[in-house]
């Protein structure tokens, strides 16, 4: 049954069953897809995605991480269902993006994406 966050299909971990997803899980999956898909790959929304895994091998100065995080956060600007914040940081040796999601009318939740593998973890 659709709710204010819409209906999607389960896609993490890779799932060919087409299981229906509703509720705040839709927002988590959106955040994961939005930050693991190369910019321009979705030609109907060419600036709506960015691939965090491309950052893994790139020589990145830690000083620019906040500006990259801000750019990533702007990928969510067109989404009226929630407010999003993105923080990029090294946890040990892993570069990770922590996405704080504040759904409209729902409880906040946090998702973490690891740059090296694209792995998603809901905190």
Partner 1 sequence: MSLSDLFVRVTETAAFNALVGKLRDGGVAVEAWLSSVNVNLSLSHIVAELRRTVQDGAADLAEAVFLQTATGEGLTLYARSAYQIERYPAVFSEHLFLLSNAATAPRHVLAAGDMLAGPAGASAGLFSSLGAMTLEPGGYALVRFTAQEAGPAGNIAARADLRLRTALVGASISNPPAIIVEGVDDNGGVGYATISLSPVQVSHELGASLSVTAIGQLVRVVRGPTTTAAQIAVAVNADTLARLLVFAAAQGTGASLAGDLAATTLTSSVVLPGQAAEGDDLVKQRCITRYSTTGAGGSEEAMIYWARALPAGYLASPVTKVKAYSNRYAGSIAGAAGTILVAGDAGALSPADLAAVTANLDGKYVLGTLVSVETTTNHTISPTGTVYVIRGRATVSDVQAAVAAALATYQAQLDIGGQAGKVYRQKLGARIEDAHPSGIRNVDLGVPATDVTILYDESVIFDPSGLVYELVDG
In angstroms, rounded to a whole number, what is the distance separating the alpha carbons of residues 79 and 117?
A: 26
In angstroms, rounded to a whole number, what is the distance separating the alpha carbons of residues 117 and 107?
A: 28
For partner 1, the closer of residues 78 and 107 by Cβ is: 78
Q: Does 7 bind partner 1 (CB under 8 A)?
A: yes
Q: Does 84 bind partner 1 (CB under 8 A)?
A: no
Q: Which of 14, 16, 17, 44 binds partner 1 (CB under 8 A)?
A: 44
Q: Which of 62, 63, 67, 81 binds partner 1 (CB under 8 A)?
A: 81
82 and 102 Cβ atoms separated by less than 8 Å: yes
Torsion angle of the four alpha carbons 106, 32, 123, 112, in this order, in degrees rounded to the nearest 10 = -130
Q: Provide the minimum distance between the beta carbon of 23 and partner 1 in the complex, in angstroms, as a whole number.
A: 12
3 and 13 Cβ atoms separated by less than 8 Å: no
Cα separations in angstroms, 49 against 27, 44, 75, 115: 14, 11, 6, 15
Q: Provide the minimum distance between the beta carbon of 122 and partner 1 in the complex, in angstroms, as a whole number.
A: 17
Q: Provide the minimum distance between the beta carbon of 79 and partner 1 in the complex, in angstroms, as a whole number.
A: 7
The residues of the shown chain that bind partner 1, judged by CB under 8 A, are 2, 5-9, 11, 26, 30, 33-34, 37, 42-45, 48-49, 78-79, 81
């Amino acid at each position: 049954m659709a709710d204010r966050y819409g209906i999607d299909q389960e896609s993490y971990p890779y799932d060919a069953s087409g299981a229906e997803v509703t509720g705040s899980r839709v927002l988590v999956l959106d955040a994961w897809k939005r930050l693991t898909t190369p910019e321009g790959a979705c030609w109907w929304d060419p600036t709506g995605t960015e691939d965090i895994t491309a950052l893994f091998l790139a020589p990145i100065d830690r000083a620019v991480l906040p500006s990259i995080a801000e750019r990533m956060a702007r990928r969510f600007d067109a989404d009226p269902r929630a407010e999003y914040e993105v923080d990029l940081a090294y946890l040990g040796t892993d570069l990770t993006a922590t996405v704080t999601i504040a759904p409209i009318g729902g409880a906040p939740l946090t998702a973490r994406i690891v740059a090296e593998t694209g792995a998603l973890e809901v905190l």
